[in-house]
Amino acid sequence: MPWLRASALAATAGLLVAAALAARSIARDLQTPRALHGAPHATSSACRRCHADHDASWRRTFHRTMTQDARAPGALLGDFDGTSLTYLGVEATMDRGPDGAPRMTLRDASGALLRRATIERTVGSRRYQQYLARDADVLFRLPIAWSVEEARFFSLNGAFLGADPAEPPPDATGIPAGYDRHVTRWNDNCIFCHNVSPNPGLDAARGTFASEVAELGVACEACHGPGEAHAAANASPLRRYALHASDVADPTIVNPARLDASRSAELCGRCHGQRITPRLEDFLAHGDPFVPGDVLARYSEPLAADTALHGEAGVFAERFWSDGTARLTAYEFQGYRASPCRADARFTCETCHAMHDGDPRGQLRPDAAGDGACTQCHAALAIPARAAAHARHPAASAGARCVACHMPRVVYGLVDAHRSHRIESPDPSAQARDRRPDACTLCHVDEGRAWAVSAAARLFGTTARDAAPNAAAGSAPDTRLDAELPEAARLLAGGDPIERALAAAAHGRPGDSPTRGDARARRLARLLRALDEERFPAVRRVVARSAARLAPPQPPARSAATTRSRPRTRAAQRSRGCAPRSRPGAVRSPPTRPPRPRAGGPMHPAVTS
Amino acid sequence: MSTPIAVESPTSPRAAARRFGWASLLVWSTAGVLLEAAHGWKLAAVLDDELTRLLLRLGHAHGAALALVVLAFGEAGALLFADPLGARRAGGLLRVAATLVPLGFALSAIAHPEGDPGFAIVLVPPGALCLLAGLALVTRAAHRR
């Protein structure tokens, strides 16, 4: 059958020509840069079709659940089964409406209805979950949140650093001043870091918002850039296999692993490093123009101690120790930038962290666990004996871990102490001068600064420098007596709120002598005293947690609910007033809208208030 | 008293189809048993990757099914051809298809990139074309008869 042979040859030739043309076209396409600014997004459901493994690993993370529709399956962590919380004389009841929608109802002591809000979205899911309700075009954060760790509702006054509100008369809504202290607007605050491609859509002339995000939560395109063109282009199997077979970067998408270390870190620093922009009006009207791979400084600068706001310097100074180290979380990027490890051009966030791997809590790379992150470069310290000799601490002890000394827990946030991301060499003498907690006394909580300075000199040969406080710290100098006092105890009793929280957290960690009864009793006594005197509810929570770690509660004689509802200390009474349930009243309007942001302001609300 | 079996040339299309068909059925049925064993012993290398599972399943299913097609050709399809050359061509195409398609699926399960089969998947389209061409020849022979 000659015709069959001829047809087969023709078909084969045709296929070869078509394949050659396709290969040429694909090669050209892969060499053509794409503008990702303003490009449409595909959302994670489109990404999942090809990147099932990455989708699965992302779904494990708290990035995914950063912002969720409250009605999405599994989104709501709190018990919306009629649970109530009374605080400052207002009883908040969390239940569901007739349509099943979660809602939060506030009543005064007489039972009069003050506010009822239907919860539309949730924010957060790791430590606590906050709730958003709508008022026309505005989503506002409700004053009660859910603590994941404690499995209970609490006032956001207990999440941010602020003193207990005095108990002045209620405002026009019938809600006591201070109750709504942290009721803020989502549209121009949380939206920026907790979603993909945020656009507040502020119409400044009319004072209205048309807020949009490409996807709720921190999804694929937050780090990889807009993906619709990528998904469309790679519908072609030939293009996909050309990419599989080569090491060519696909210009339709950003792969952070291919970015240089600075661009890669800036991608994270966009949210993990609070920023300020001179183009706030643009940000509020049209959204953050940053696209992964951009130079962050094109649009904004990380906040620093000397950053001015509207020409006023020092506004943000309280957020930093006097040596420039951040005191608060969400300043990790600033710590990264100040780390000497940056001398290695490869050093970036992903040196230690992995977005698709490891424990979702912290998202450390599995091979960076223990001291693995550091021994990638400091290879000699991978040998335990050398690491112990370097640390001058027993090899198996917590003090021998690299992070114990080089990333001390001098950062406060989310009602806990966190490791500084400014990787540094411990120098208690310099840190005494800078009036900054040091790694030594945050672990050896029964020791003073003088001990730390002499121990560092003895163990590491550091020079005891002039320990006079840095003038920039602006506080009274340490006296000799102060230097002899246990530093953590001194901070717990007389530090500022952040110092008190850090010291309280340090008291609850195993530290240097966890099993000695007398040391434990001393620490517990300090904590109990602090618990009674502390005026900041967030610090009280840290103190209470540490006390519970030192003296774990005995099994309750009564039901847990009964026990929990009884305030046991003056401090607890202050934060857990009781009010009788009674008749419902008229529905009041939602809280007054928070004030408009000012141009040039910080892009996030202050963590301290 | 048994009926004498007609002697057939070992190079005839029917004999080739029988040899290949039964051997292929044995191979891909064995693969099926191994797949079931992988499920039975919860073999992570097979079970943890959904695409690997799918490709191995496709390899097994296509291998067994196409072996049956080849056997059917040997028992019935080859008889439709008046021209032995035509029967030989059709049988050859079906055997190539029954080799390339399941092998393409099964081998592409090995070290595949995320979301796509491995490069061995390129065996499947030519195998599928051979199958269609072989079936077309058999169909034409059936209509001409």
Residue A470 has pLDDT above 70, yes or no: no
Residue A208: strand, helix, or coil:
strand
Residue A589 has pLDDT above 80, yes or no: no
Please give the residue of chain A at the shortest CA–CA distance from B115. A50
- Closest-CA distance, A43 to chain B, in angstroms, reads 17
Spatial neighbors of A140 by CB under 8 A, at least 6 apart, are A132, A133, A134, A183, A184, A185, A186, A590, A591, A593, A594
**CA-based radius of gyration for chain A:** 28
- Closest-CA distance, B19 to chain A, in angstroms, reads 26
Q: Which of A66, A353, A71, A47 minimizes the C-alpha distance to A192? A: A66
pLDDT (0 to 100) of residue B145: 77
**CA-based radius of gyration for chain B:** 18
More confident call, A563 vs A71 = A71
pLDDT (0 to 100) of residue A395: 85
Residue A116: strand, helix, or coil:
strand
d(CA A418, CA A325): 13
d(CA A197, CA A271): 12
Q: Tell me whether residues B51 and A245 touch, CB distance under 8 A.
A: no
- Which residue in the set B51, B86, B113 is minimally distant from A244, CB to CB? B113
Taking only the tens place, the pLDDT of each residue in B10-51 is 789 999 999 999 999 999 999 999 999 999 999 998 888 999
Task: Quote the mean pLDDT of chain B.
Answer: 93
Residue A227: DSSP 8-state: -
Taking contacts as CB-CB distances below 8 angstroms, the residues of chain B near A50 are 114-116
Residue A438 has pLDDT above 90, yes or no: yes
Q: Quick one: what percent of chain A has pLDDT higher than 70?
A: 86
pLDDT (0 to 100) of residue A463: 62
Q: Tell me whether residues A237 and B89 touch, CB distance under 8 A.
A: no
Other beta carbons within 10 Å of A484: 15
pLDDT (0 to 100) of residue A568: 41
- Which residue in the set A51, A237, A241 is minimally distant from B114, CB to CB? A51
List strand residue ranges (DSSP E) for A314-468, in order: 411-413, 416-418
**For the residues A423-441, what does the mean pLDDT come to?**
92
d(CA B34, CA B40): 9
pLDDT (0 to 100) of residue B131: 98
Taking contacts as CB-CB distances below 8 angstroms, the residues of chain B near A4 are 89
Q: Which of A70, A179, A185, A204 minimizes the C-alpha distance to A135? A: A185
Q: Tell me whether residues A50 and B116 touch, CB distance under 8 A.
A: yes
Point out which residues pair with A208 in neighbouring strands. Answer: A203
Q: Tell me whether residues B115 and A244 touch, CB distance under 8 A.
A: no
Taking contacts as CB-CB distances below 8 angstroms, the residues of chain A near B85 are 1
d(CA A214, CA A227): 11
- Closest-CA distance, A458 to chain B, in angstroms, reads 53
Q: What are A315-321's contacts with CB under 8 Å, separation 24+?
A: A316/A602, A318/A608, A319/A274, A319/A606, A319/A607, A319/A608, A321/A410, A321/A434, A321/A435, A321/A436
Residue A609 has pLDDT above 50, yes or no: no
Residue A581 has pLDDT above 60, yes or no: no
Contact status of A99 with chain B (Cβ, < 8 Å): no
pLDDT (0 to 100) of residue A575: 39
Residue A572 has pLDDT above 80, yes or no: no
d(CA A385, CA A398): 15
d(CA B108, CA B52): 8
H-assigned helices in A270-331: 280-286
Contact status of B68 with chain A (Cβ, < 8 Å): no
Spatial neighbors of A384 by CB under 8 A, at least 6 apart, are A395
Q: Give the number of A-B residue pairs with CB atoms closer than 8 Å.
A: 25
Taking contacts as CB-CB distances below 8 angstroms, the residues of chain B near A231 are none
Supply the pTM of this predicted model: 0.85
Residue A239 has pLDDT above 70, yes or no: yes
Q: Tell me whether residues B89 and A4 touch, CB distance under 8 A.
A: yes
Q: Are A536 and A162 in contact, with CB atoms under 8 Å apart?
A: yes
Taking only the tens place, the pLDDT of each residue in A526-538 is 999 999 999 999 9
Residue A203 has pLDDT above 60, yes or no: yes
- Closest-CA distance, B1 to chain A, in angstroms, reads 45
Taking contacts as CB-CB distances below 8 angstroms, the residues of chain A near B86 are 1
- Which residue in the set A4, A52, A245 is minimally distant from B115, CB to CB? A52
pLDDT (0 to 100) of residue A558: 54
Residue of A3, A58, A244, A357 to mutate for B, most B C-beta atoms under 10 A: A244
Helix (H) or strand (E) holding A23: helix A2-31
